[in-house]
C-alpha cells in the first residue's frame, strides 16, 4: 500500500468509533462474500471502498457540511462514513433508497452504529422523492445506478446551496457508462468540477457562488 492509501486508511481508522467500525467491517465482509459467491448484482451491497468512505468523511468535515444528501443508501456503508462526520459538524444525513431489502439492512446498520438520530432514510424512487425534499444541502453524494446519474444531475444542482459540493462515485470504474454524465457535469454552467483519482474515481463539483 503506498503512502497515500496508508494515510487515508489511517485517517479512516482513527475517525470512526468502535460501534461504527464494527458495522463497517461487517458490511465490508458481506460485500466481499457477495462479490465472491455470485450473489445477483441487485442483491449485492455494492458499497463504496473504505478509501472513498474516508474521503467523503473528511470532505464533510473540511466543508463543515451540516445538511448532507445521499442518493443510493444500499446497506448504509457510505451513510455510516457520512454520518460519522455529520456527528462532528452537528449535521444530518438524508439518504434515498428504492429497495426495501436494502432499506432494512441500512436501518440495522445505522441502529447498530448508534446513528439513528443522525440519518433519515427516504424510501422510494429517488427521482420522485428528491422533489419532495427542502434544500438547500451543503453536500450531496450520488451513488445509484449509472444509467440514472444524468436524471439526478439537475435536481441535485438545484438542491445544493451556492458553494455546496456534489460528489459522484464510479467516474473511472464506469467511465464509458458515465461519459455523458461527466460531460454534462463538467460543462454545467453552475458547477466547477475535478476528477479525484481515488481508484473508482470521484467527480467532485462545487456549485458556483457562495
Ligand X SMILES: C[S@@+](CC[C@H](N)C(=O)[O-])C[C@H]1O[C@@H](n2cnc3c(N)ncnc32)[C@H](O)[C@@H]1O
- Using an 8 Å Cβ cutoff, are 55 and 8 in contact? yes
CA–CA gap between residue 101 and residue 120 (Å, rounded): 16
Whichever of 44 and 206 has its CB closer to ligand X, that residue is 44
Among residues 33 and 208, whose Cβ is nearest to ligand X?
33
Part in contact with ligand X (CB under 6 A); list of ranges 5-13, 90-98, 157-165, 172-180: 90-98
**Using CA atoms, how far apart are residues 171 and 161, in angstroms rounded to an integer?**
23
Q: Hey, CA dihedral for 166, 125, 47, 105, is it positive or negative?
A: positive
Angle subtended by helix axes 50-63 and 3-15, to nearest 10: 70
Smallest gap from Cβ 55 to ligand X, in A, equals: 12
Is residue 125 close enough to count as binding ligand X by CB under 6 A? yes
Any contact of residue 99 with ligand X (CB under 6 A)?
yes
133 lines the binding site for ligand X (CB under 6 A): no
Residues 6+ apart with CB under 8 A from 92: 66, 67, 68, 86, 118, 119, 120
Each residue 20-49 as x (binds ligand X by CB under 6 A) or -, in order, gives: -------------------------xxxx-
145 binds ligand X (CB under 6 A): yes
Interface residue list for ligand X (CB under 6 A): 45-48, 72, 74-75, 77-78, 96-99, 102, 125-127, 143-145, 148
Amino acid at each position: 500500500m503506498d503512502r497515500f492509501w496508508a494515510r487515508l486508511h489511517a485517517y479512516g481508522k482513527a475517525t470512526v468509533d468502535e460501534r461504527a467500525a464494527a458495522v463497517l467491517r461487517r458490511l465490508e465482509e458481506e460485500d466481499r462474500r457477495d462479490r465472491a459467491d455470485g450473489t445477483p448484482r441487485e442483491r449485492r451491497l455494492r458499497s463504496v471502498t473504505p478509501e472513498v468512505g474516508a474521503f467523503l468523511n473528511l470532505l464533510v468535515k473540511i466543508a463543515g457540511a451540516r445538511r448532507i444528501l445521499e442518493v443510493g443508501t444500499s446497506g448504509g456503508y457510505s451513510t455510516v462514513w457520512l454520518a460519522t462526520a455529520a456527528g462532528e459538524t452537528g449535521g444530518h444525513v438524508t439518504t434515498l433508497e428504492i429497495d426495501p431489502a436494502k432499506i432494512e439492512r441500512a436501518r440495522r446498520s445505522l441502529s447498530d452504529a448508534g446513528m439513528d438520530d443522525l440519518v433519515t432514510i427516504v424510501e422510494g424512487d429517488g427521482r420522485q422523492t428528491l422533489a419532495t425534499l427542502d434544500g438547500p444541502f451543503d453536500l450531496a453524494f450520488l451513488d445509484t445506478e449509472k444509467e440514472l446519474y444524468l436524471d439526478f444531475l439537475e435536481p441535485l444542482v438545484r438542491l445544493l446551496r451556492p458553494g455546496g459540493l456534489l460528489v459522484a462515485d464510479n467516474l473511472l470504474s464506469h467511465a464509458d457508462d458515465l461519459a455523458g454524465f461527466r460531460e454534462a457535469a463538467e460543462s454545467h454552467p453552475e458547477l466547477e468540477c475535478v476528477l479525484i483519482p481515488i481508484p473508482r474515481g470521484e467527480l467532485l463539483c462545487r456549485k458556483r457562488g457562495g
